Structure formats: structure tokens, C-alpha cells
A and B are shown apart, each in its own frame.
Chain A
């Protein structure tokens, strides 16, 4: 399987500031990574598909200017929440799929905007 490392695990930021979350695939070259958001007691919601060397594909309703995704290498994708607001507080998780049979997840990032 793939080892996916996500950083930071927890972050608290002030409203209006930006936060960057990193997702690293440590032992697998991932041309594609996925970013999810999960609100309490709800399912994982796919936000965007991150493609190495090209623009990310965003799901309907996700603001691409607010959630900036950069996938500059086969092992690193970043999600930047710009001008964060309290309603952006959530659990953000990245994942990598090896083939089509298994998804490996980062540890997740708990974002709290105050």
C-alpha cells in the first residue's frame, strides 16, 4: 500500500488568513490525489481531484479561488484555504489511489477558524 502523510494535523487560524495543508505520498508516485472535506457526523465530500502538472478538477459548488490546489510533483499536493472563515472549519483529508482498488488516506487536518 501507499503511505500518505498529511501536515499539519491540527491548525487554528484567525478569520481572514490563509492556511496551507500539505499531502505527501511517501512511497508512491501519485499523478492524482484527492482532497476531501468532512463535517461532523457527515460523510467524506470530495472537493477536488489534484492532477500533477496541471489544474485541479473541482467538484460542483467548491470555489476554486478559495481552495487553491497545487500538485507540483508526483509526491506532493497542497491545499490552501484562502481568506478562511469560521464556516470553513472542518476536517480535511487527502487520499491517493493505487490502481483502482484501494484508497490510502492522509491523517487528516482539523482546521478551526476563529
Chain B
């Protein structure tokens, strides 16, 4: 079966750095996405990785290792507004998105 695992909840301090991990087992791979979702709102796109390595975009970076079925989202200089759920999703061989359950990130002052 297809499976995406990410931690349920994480807590970090304002100004610090946090890494949210995602491991996956899917039938085929056509890219991995990270989305941010604030409570009661639709997800918003953060990053897309299809090749191994690190993609940096401002305070957010995303890493992919296809051989390990592993990705992480790195958030730097955390701000209170970063408190949200972070969803990992993998596009399988049929170009369908398989979603993780999301990681709720709590930022403390």
C-alpha cells in the first residue's frame, strides 16, 4: 500500500529552527510537495522536490532523498505566524497526490 508518515505534532520556539520529517512508500514517484495549512483554511503551496537535494526558498527549505524515501521541511527564524499544519504529499506514478496526515507545528514565544 501507499503510506506517508510525518510526526503528528511538534513544538518550537520563536526565532529558532525546526525540521519536519516525512517518509514515504508509494507506487512510483513524480515529486514531493510541502503545503502549509492554517486551521480552517485551504492548504497553500510551499515547495516541490523531484530531484535529490535541498531546495531553498527564503526561510523555508525542503530536502529530498529518493533512495531513502525521505524528505524534510526546514523552517528558520520561526515566527508566530508559522504556527500551522504542514502537509507532505507525494505524487505517485498515476500523477495522483498521496497526502500525509500533517504535522501540527506550535510556536511558543
Does any Cβ of A come within 8 Å of B22's Cβ? no
B42 touches A106 (CB 8 A): yes
Q: Are A44 and B99 in contact (CB under 8 A)?
A: yes
Q: Measured between C-beta atoms, what is the minimum distance from A3 to chain B in Å?
A: 12
Within 8 Å of chain A (Cβ to Cβ): is B105? Answer: no
Q: How many residue pairs, one in A and one in B, have C-beta atoms under 8 Å apart?
A: 44
A107 to chain B, nearest CB (A): 5
What 1/0 mask marks residues of chain B from 11 to 49 whose CB sits below 8 Å from any chain A CB? Answer: 000000000000000000011010000001111110010
Any chain A CB within 8 A of the CB of B97?
Answer: yes
Chain A residue with Cβ nearest B43: A105
- Using known A-B contacts A100-B31, A101-B31, determine if residue A91 contacts B99 with beta carbons closer than 8 Å: no
A15 to chain B, nearest CB (A): 23
Say yes or no: A107 contacts B42, CB within 8 Å.
yes
Known: A101-B31, A103-B45. A42 touches B40 (CB 8 A): no
Contact A43 B87 (CB under 8 A): yes
Nearest B residue to A104, CB-CB: B45
Q: Given that A43-B99, A44-B99 are contacting pairs, would A101 and B41 also be in contact in the complex, using a CB cutoff of 8 Å?
A: no
Of the candidates A6, A44, A91, A110, the one having the most CB atoms from chain B within 10 angstroms of its own CB is A44
CA distance in complex: A6, B42 (Å): 10
Cβ < 8 Å to A, chain B residues 41-61: 41-45, 48, 50
The answer to the question of A19 belonging to the interface, with a C-beta cut-off of 8 Å to chain B, is: no
C-alpha spacing A103/B44, complex, angstroms: 9
Complex-state Cα separation, A108 to B43, whole angstroms: 9
Flag if A43 contacts B100 (CB, 8 Å).
yes
Q: Shortest Cβ distance from B7 into chain A, in angstroms?
A: 13
Contact A44 B43 (CB under 8 A): yes
19 pairs, CB–CB < 8 Å, chain A vs chain B: A6-B42, A42-B101, A43-B87, A43-B102, A44-B43, A46-B97, A46-B99, A93-B42, A100-B30, A100-B31, A100-B95, A101-B31, A101-B48, A102-B33, A102-B48, A103-B97, A105-B42, A105-B43, A105-B44
